[in-house]
Amino acid sequence: MTNAPQVDRSSADTVRAEYAELVREAATGERSAMERLLMRVQEVAYRFSLLVCGHQEDAEDVMQDALLKTYQHVGKISDPSAFRTWLYTTVRNACLMKRRRRVGEPSHFEPIEGGGGLEGTGRRAMDVPDMASPPDDRLMDGWIDRRLRTALQALPPAYRIVLVLREIDGLSTREVATVTGVSEANVKQRLHRARVMLRRQLEIP
Amino acid sequence: MTDSTRPECVPVLASISAYLDGELPGTECVRIEAHCVGCESCATLVEGLRATLGLCRGVASLPLPAPVRERAQASVQKLLDDALGSPKVRG
């Protein structure tokens, strides 16, 4: 047992201050500052979208969306310290839009060629299994531990988003409440359940 | 929490997340730690949650995968070139 609290929130304060400084510099119109901010924004958007929604193609679209919206927004910011919650809210909304579109999609696509049968096998072209990992999966495996990504995807979305914002991106409870639109008490409750579920999914004793 | 949870574990289980987040006063931390010394189940849960959170913590500092990063950089350059004009090449 350790005697001290286990979570270092001082680094979260540092990150928040870094964002505010980056926004102040970018708002002056200085190109290199703008480049740094826009790269940071895309990193956030890509990681969040991939971990919360789980689709690499969508993550790149969400990244582009965040890039454009930030560029349009940065000159209008009156409170740089509020930028971070604005960014995550923007990214969350873009992810939700993507998810709504996916819900309307068929779960698989029939080949447009007529018939689609594989001669002599009795199978259709779409049934052919591909045992190799898709290139996207290989790319992701080299980035974030597949075990963690799979475990996160097994959580209910409302719990997953809270866990990603708080534990991975380091937002405060209040910031998570602002981004997700639920009360701080509700954030804490979901976070606790999400932690317990994630531990179970990861089969950590 | 399950039906087999011991009554003395209930308040500890309710406070574990706050404990891990450093939101409890020192006296409460001492109470939880003293309980965990004699309760293997709660001690295992605390350590397991701490290990789980440890896995999450490093992810935010990972740079984007190289191909994605290259596309992101190209998008930034194109946006800024279109909006501000290409940076002048110094001879």
DSSP string of B8-77, one letter each residue: GGHHHHHHHHHHHTT-S-HHHHHHHHHHHHH-HHHHHHHHHHHHHHHHHHTGGGSPPPHHHHHHHHHHHH
Evaluate whether A170 touches A15 at the Cβ level (below 8 Å): yes
ipTM over 0.95: no
Q: What is the pLDDT of residues B1-14, one digit of tens each?
A: 555 688 889 999 99
Site of tokens 């089969």: A203
Closest chain A residue to the Cα of B81, Cα to Cα: A31
**Measured CA distances, A159 to A12, A136, A188, B3 (Å):** 21, 25, 10, 24
The residue ranges of DSSP E strands in chain A, in sequence order, are 117-118, 123-124
pLDDT of residue A183: 97
Q: Which residues of chain A make contact with B17, given a CB cutoff of 8 A? A: 188, 191-192, 195
Q: What is the pLDDT of residues A6-46, one digit of tens each?
A: 555 566 778 888 888 999 999 888 899 999 999 999 999 99
User: Is B53 in contact with A7 (Cβ distance < 8 A)?
Assistant: yes
Q: Is this structure's pTM higher than 0.90?
A: no
The beta-carbon neighbor of A199 closest among B49, B65, B75 is B49
Tokens of A201: 């999914």
The CA distance from B10 to the nearest CA of chain A, in Å, is 14
Chain A CB within 8 Å of residue B49 CB: yes
pLDDT in tens, chain B (91 residues): 555 688 889 999 999 999 999 999 999 999 999 999 999 999 999 999 999 999 998 888 888 999 999 999 999 999 999 887 766 554 3
Alpha-carbon Rg for chain A in angstroms: 20
In one-letter notation, the amino acid at residue A2 is: T
In one-letter notation, the amino acid at residue A186 is: N
pLDDT of residue B90: 45
- Window A:53-72, CB contacts with B under 8 Å: 60, 63-64, 67-68, 71
**Average pLDDT in chain A:** 81
Q: Average pLDDT of A114-138?
A: 49
Among A167, A197, A198, A203, pick the best mutation site for testing chain B contact (most B Cβ within 10 A): A167
Tokens of A78: 């009156």
The CA distance from A104 to the nearest CA of chain B, in Å, is 27
Closest chain B residue to the Cα of A31, Cα to Cα: B80
3-state secondary structure at position A117 = strand
User: Is B80 in contact with A196 (Cβ distance < 8 A)?
Assistant: no
Site of tokens 């940065």: A74
The CA distance from B6 to the nearest CA of chain A, in Å, is 18
Evaluate whether A173 touches A187 at the Cβ level (below 8 Å): yes
The CA distance from B39 to the nearest CA of chain A, in Å, is 12
User: Is A192 in contact with B76 (Cβ distance < 8 A)?
Assistant: no
Nearest partner of A162 among A137, A204, A197, judged by Cα:
A197
Angle between helices A83-103 and A56-73 (to 10 degrees): 140
- Window A:126-155, CB contacts with B under 8 Å: 139-140, 142-145, 148
Chain A CB within 8 Å of residue B5 CB: no
